[in-house]
Each structure stands twice: as C-alpha cells, then as structure tokens.
Amino acid sequence: MDFGIFYEIQVNSPLKHRDREAQVFHQVLEQVALAEQVGFSNFWSVEHHFQPGFSHCSAPEVLYGALSQRTSKIRLGHAVVLLPFPYNHPVRVAERLATLDILSNGRVEVGTGRSATIQELGGFGIPPEETRARWEEGLRILLSIWKSKDGTFSWKGRYFDIPERTVVPMPVQKPHPAIWLAASNEETHTLAGKLGLGLQTLVVMLDPEEVARRIQLYRDAQKDAQPVGAVVNKRAAVFYMIHCAETDREARENAERAFMSYVNTLFTVNGQLQAAIKEGTRDAPQRAGANLPKGVTQDQINMNYLIDHHTVICGSPDTCIKQLELIQKTTGLDHVMGMQQFWSIPHEKVMKSIRLFGEHVIPHFSRN
C-alpha cells in the first residue's frame, strides 16, 4: 500500500476575501512539495466547477504544470478529469495530458469520471442520464489516440464525428499513462474491472467491510476484462479524509469541523442532483461519497460515527497506523488517496499533518 495526497482546493469565504483564493493555491504548492519530500507517491486533485469555498480546482491541468516543475518524483494525477462533453473535448484532454507527461518526465496518472452535481451538469448543459455514455465515448477517443502509431486517428460515434487528424504531442509513457475510473456506486466498480481500468473508490461514510465488498466486485470483474486501454491497470485506490497531529485529541479538534463540513456538503449537492433527475432515469450519477450504509440516516453521521466506523483517518501517528492497518487488512486496497487540506484547517496545521504522516505513518507501511 502506498499513499497519495488528494485535493479539492478549499478556500474559506472566498467571495468576501478574494485574496485567500490566491494564497491557498500557493499553499498547495508548498504542501505538495513537502508531501514529495516525506514520501507520498502521488498527488491527486479533482476537477470541479461552480463550487465556491468547497473546491477551486476548475483548471487542474494548469496546477499540474506548475507542480511538474516544483517536484521531481511524485506522480501527478487527475481524480478526475471530467470526460463528458462539453466539460472537456477528448482531443484537448489528449493534448493537455501528453504535454504534462512530457513536462513531468512521465509522471502523469489519468483518473476519469463523469461528474455528479447539478451545479456543474446544469452549468454545462449536460443531461445527467447521458453522463456515462458521454464519459465512455470520450474515454475511447482518448485511448484511440494514444493507442495509434503516431497520434493519427478518426472517430465517428454518437457525440463526435472527427475526420482523420494527427494529434500532437504524444505522451512519453509507453504505451500511455495509467488510466483510472472514479466509482461511487456499485455498478461503476464492476465497470472499472470490466474495462481494465484502475479503481478510484470515492466513498466517505462506508465502513471497511463495505469498501472491501465493492473492491471485490472490481476484482471479480477483472477476470473477464475487455481492456479499453493498451494495458490493464489492476490497482484499487480508496479516498479518505486524513488529519494527523501529536495527539488524538489535537487531531480531532483540528479536523472535526473540516470533516463534518465536507460530509454535509456531499449530502446537500447529492440531494440537489437527485431532485433534478427524472424518476426512473437510468445511468444517472450519484455524488461521490454521498452513499450511506443501509439503515443509517444523515442525522446519525457525526465525528464519532466517522471515527468509530473507520471511514476517516484521524489521530496521532500511532493511531493513524492502527486505523490504516485495519483498513488495509479488511479491504486489500493498494493505494490511499488522503485529503488533508480543508478550508477550516490552517496551512501550518496541514503542513504538520503531512510531515507527521510522512515521517511516521508511511514508513511503517513501507516496511511491511
């Protein structure tokens, strides 16, 4: 098991205090440089739009370009690039990612997804029931380009009709960067396995036993995989909110407001999406992380629930190790995508958490 650091890029009251937005971006550069120094293997960030405060990562590829020059080892990954058009045209995705792969000397990882907030889908005019079809066609075009001999391809499908063209540049990784799929519902876990994609499990309120069951759905589907890419990515990554401090009490005091704010935002935006979806609609998305275990209601979710059900990593280094040992043993995951930067946690406490986690927690799992 290895560890990545995950970002929404959150900003406290950005519309009233616009200077904070710029400040946070520069803090993220410092945090990721430290994360590389103390042993994190991956940097991940979302792509979100129209989410003031919650996520200011609307142009992640620009941030990746800056990070490619501030770092030398840590891998740079989308979690995820939104492939339903018109979020991103797949040819532009191929061009941007190949450029980043060149600038980073082959450190790009490509998580893909379809988006699941009504603010974003509505803002770009994307029907929720078409997100999966648009995502899949975009993915197949991207990989058609990268699997070609020299970037020359053509395409005729439901959403795109592209005459023969040659795309430049091409990635330096051969045959192409690793491809992942973000999964919140069960069906998508199975789809990731069938298509030979790496799994990014984005759940927040599910205990390790349920996460393990979903990862097993993915593993089972791999047995009859029909890979969409030139290579199969068999790794399973899981998202967790993380905060590490000198003591359990300090970690909880630092993290409780942040963790609960994140959870409550997921509930809110998922409710907005579900209200906008026509009854009986197939293939409509669910907001990542918003699914609850059977029999559990929203008003039961508090910090005690998150910690007691091992859905977050929070505590001293020793406590974080114990929590992760249980999660690893139960789920069999390969990679942890840990979010540590929240609007309510000051930069210096985020830096301390990254350092403690990197110096004490990561080495424990490197030895095992």
Q: Tell me: the pLDDT tens digits for 344-358? A: 999 999 999 999 999
Which DSSP symbol is given to 337? E
> Taking 90 as the threshold, does the pLDDT of residue 239 lie above it?
yes
pLDDT at position 132, please? 95
Q: How far is CA 135 from CA 15, 82, 111, 149, 197, in A?
A: 32, 8, 12, 24, 14
Which DSSP symbol is given to 310? T
CA 314/CA 251 separation, integer angstroms: 6
Domain extent, residue 101, equals 2-367
CA 48/CA 289 separation, integer angstroms: 15
Q: Could you give the count of Cα atoms lying within 13 Å of 167 in the half-sphere of its Cβ?
A: 28
| Total tally of structural domains belonging to the chain | 1
Taking only the tens place, the pLDDT of each residue in 185-223 is: 899 999 999 999 999 998 888 999 999 999 999 999 999
Q: How far is CA 303 from CA 297, 306, 315, 353, in A?
A: 14, 5, 12, 18
pLDDT at position 282, please? 55
pLDDT at position 288, please? 53
Whether the predicted model's global pTM rises above the 0.85 cut: yes
Taking only the tens place, the pLDDT of each residue in 73-99 is: 999 999 999 999 999 999 999 999 999
The mean of the pLDDT values for the chain is 94
CA 75 to chain centre: 13
Name residues whose C-beta falls within 8 Å of residue 302's C-beta, 6 or more positions apart in sequence: 260
Taking only the tens place, the pLDDT of each residue in 243-256 is: 999 999 999 999 99
Q: How far is CA 269 from CA 54, 56, 109, 177, 273, in A?
A: 11, 16, 27, 32, 6
Quickly list H helices, 163-247.
186-194, 208-222
CATH of the domain at 14: 3.20.20.30
pLDDT at position 268, please? 82
User: Tokens 């616009």 correspond to what residue?
Assistant: 18
> Taking 70 as the threshold, does the pLDDT of residue 359 lie above it?
yes
> Residue 147 CB: number of other CB atoms within 10 A?
14
* Residue 101 · residue 172 · CB < 8 Å: yes
CA 358/CA 352 separation, integer angstroms: 10
Q: How far apart are the first and last CA of the chain?
A: 9
Phi, psi torsion values for 185, nearest 5 degrees: -90, 165
What is the dihedral sign for C-alpha 288, 248, 43, 8? positive
> Residue 132 CB: number of other CB atoms within 10 A?
18
Taking only the tens place, the pLDDT of each residue in 249-304 is: 999 999 999 999 999 998 887 656 555 556 555 565 655 556 677 888 888 999 99
What is the dihedral sign for C-alpha 291, 297, 303, 306? negative
**Where does residue 18 rank: exposed (0-12), middle (13-18), buried (19+ CB within 10 A)?**
exposed
CA 241/CA 312 separation, integer angstroms: 5
Mean pLDDT of 20-44: 98
CA 170/CA 261 separation, integer angstroms: 41
Percent of the chain with pLDDT over 70: 94
Taking only the tens place, the pLDDT of each residue in 145-181 is: 999 999 999 999 999 999 999 999 999 999 999 999 9
Selection from 315, 313, 272 nearest residue 290 by Cα: 272
